[in-house]
Amino acid sequence: MADLPPDIAALSFEEALAELEGIVKRLETGATRLDDAIAAYERGAKLRAHCEARLKEAQARVERIVLGPDGAVSVAPAAVE
């Protein structure tokens, strides 16, 4: 998230997703000037990257239950792709 503007980096996942959804709705109407549409698309791409990074962070924190060869149950970090 190093390349993100500070205002985007400070957003929670939910805030970034809500803003991204708003951008998509505005762009879908086609009523936006070309320059504004391009700027909105660029911001949307940054918001998408921020959301993906937040999801990967959350996934990395999720744990999975592991059954060992001796039948013991333990917890291990989930594999992150």
CATH of the domain at 50: 1.10.287
Interval 14-58: pLDDT, tens: 999 999 999 999 999 998 999 999 999 999 999 999 999 999 888
User: pLDDT value at position 79?
Assistant: 66
SS3 (DSSP) at 19: helix
Q: How far, in Å, CA of 35 to CA of 43, rounded?
A: 12
**What pTM value is reported for the model?**
0.74
Q: How far, in Å, CA of 18 to CA of 25, rounded?
A: 11
Domain total in the chain: 1
Does 14 map to a domain? yes
Full domain range(s) for residue 32:
6-77
Q: How far, in Å, CA of 25 to CA of 8, rounded?
A: 19
Does 59 map to a domain? yes
Does 12 map to a domain? yes
Does 29 map to a domain? yes
User: pLDDT value at position 64?
Assistant: 72
What are φ and ψ of residue 20, in 5° steps?
Answer: -60, -40
Does 1 map to a domain? no
